[in-house]
């Protein structure tokens, strides 16, 4: 038998079948129009526009410093835009922030939780702050604690939680008022694979029930697995957006992402790294 040529032996990459996107006719739960944010000379977000349909699992990807967190912070009322508008469920988020916040659950990038509370207390506090009555808070807290597998941690101080557990309790707090839209900045960072699968399942159920998720992640595999639509943000601009298949254009999301982000950098220089100091 002839030895396989290099070309024939190259493993064929099969594309993961994309999750079905909501129909064109679905309501737009989030409409971001020409958002701009400048920090001094630096334009972190440069006229970003996005449309997210109800029932969508929408991923925002981009290299480090691309402007993802800055964009999501403006969407969720944490950072005031210099220009542009954000509409959540047809509410102008910066003209009527209270109404917009009622419709939104947020997992911010840098978590600042009241970590001298126990997980149970933090959930109670979050639910009460959202105007839920004590009984509803109790029932929903019990459901969320079971769903996130935090039974053993519920009476411990959040300050003593691991990074992954902190993500889980923060996400539980973001969901307790059953918002229409969940905006999650790097929800899977520091989360172990089993918990990530569990978390994905919770979010999938939420989306199946009519909820909408916008999440940022560096995990291309994860985005391909869970998202039906995606936006690629590079240098504060949206370079591609649409359904996963529209953005991938027959390639893997990772290949497409790398091409849009400017290609792989050849590992040149740094020869000193091989001249070990001992």
Phi, psi of 52 (to 5 degrees): -120, 125
Q: Is 19 exposed, middle or buried (0-12, 13-18, 19+ CB in 10 A)?
A: middle
76 near ligand ATP, rule: CB under 6 A: no
Mark residues 186-215: x for contact with ligand ATP by CB under 6 A, - for none.
Answer: ------------------------------
62 near ligand ATP, rule: CB under 6 A: yes
How many Å apart are CA 183 and CA 104, to the nearest integer? Answer: 7
Rounded to a whole number of angstroms, the minimum distance from the CB of residue 98 to ligand ATP is 25
How many Å apart are CA 153 and CA 157, to the nearest integer? Answer: 8
Q: Of 13-21, 67-75, 162-170, 265-273, which part binds ligand ATP (CB under 6 A)?
A: 67-75
230 closest CA partner among 252, 247, 217, 218? 247
Q: Which of 5, 9, 64, 277 binds ligand ATP (CB under 6 A)?
A: 64
Print burial letters for 186-207: b (CB count within 10 Å at least 16), e (below 16): bbbeebeeebbebbbebbeebb
80 near ligand ATP, rule: CB under 6 A: no
Q: Of 27-35, 66-74, 129-137, 172-180, which part binds ligand ATP (CB under 6 A)?
A: 66-74
Q: Is 245 exposed, middle or buried (0-12, 13-18, 19+ CB in 10 A)?
A: middle
Mark residues 13-52: x for contact with ligand ATP by CB under 6 A, - for none.
Answer: --------------------------x--x-x--------
Point out which residues bind ligand ATP (CB under 6 A).
Answer: 39, 42, 44, 62, 64-70
């Amino acid at each position: 038998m002839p030895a396989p040529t290099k070309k024939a032996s190259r493993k064929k990459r099969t594309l993961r079948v994309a999750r079905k996107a909501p129909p064109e006719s679905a309501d737009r739960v989030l409409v971001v129009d020409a958002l701009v944010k400048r920090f001094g000379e630096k334009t972190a977000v440069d006229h970003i526009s996005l449309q997210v349909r109800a029932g969508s699992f929408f991923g925002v990807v981009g290299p480090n410093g691309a402007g993802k967190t800055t964009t999501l912070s403006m969407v969720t009322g944490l950072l005031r835009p210099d220009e542009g508008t954000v509409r959540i469920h047809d509410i102008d988020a910066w003209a009527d922030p209270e109404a917009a916040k009622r419709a939104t659950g947020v997992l911010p990038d840098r978590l600042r939780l009241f970590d001298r509370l126990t997980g149970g207390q933090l959930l109670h506090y979050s639910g009460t702050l959202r105007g839920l009555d004590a009984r509803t808070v109790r029932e929903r807290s019990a459901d969320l604690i079971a769903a996130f597998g935090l039974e053993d941690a519920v009476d411990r101080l959040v300050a003593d939680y691991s990074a992954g557990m902190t993500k889980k309790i923060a996400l539980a707090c973001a969901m307790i008022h059953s918002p229409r839209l969940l905006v999650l900045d790097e929800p899977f960072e520091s989360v172990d694979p089993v918990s990530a699968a569990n978390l994905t399942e919770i979010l999938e159920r939420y989306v199946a029930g009519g909820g909408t998720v916008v999440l940022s992640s560096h995990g291309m595999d994860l985005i391909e697995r869970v998202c039906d639509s995606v936006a690629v943000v590079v240098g504060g601009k949206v370079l591609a957006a649409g359904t996963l298949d529209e953005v991938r254009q027959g390639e893997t999301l990772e290949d497409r992402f790398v091409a849009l982000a400017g290609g792989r950098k050849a590992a040149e220089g740094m020869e000193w790294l091989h001249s070990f100091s001992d």
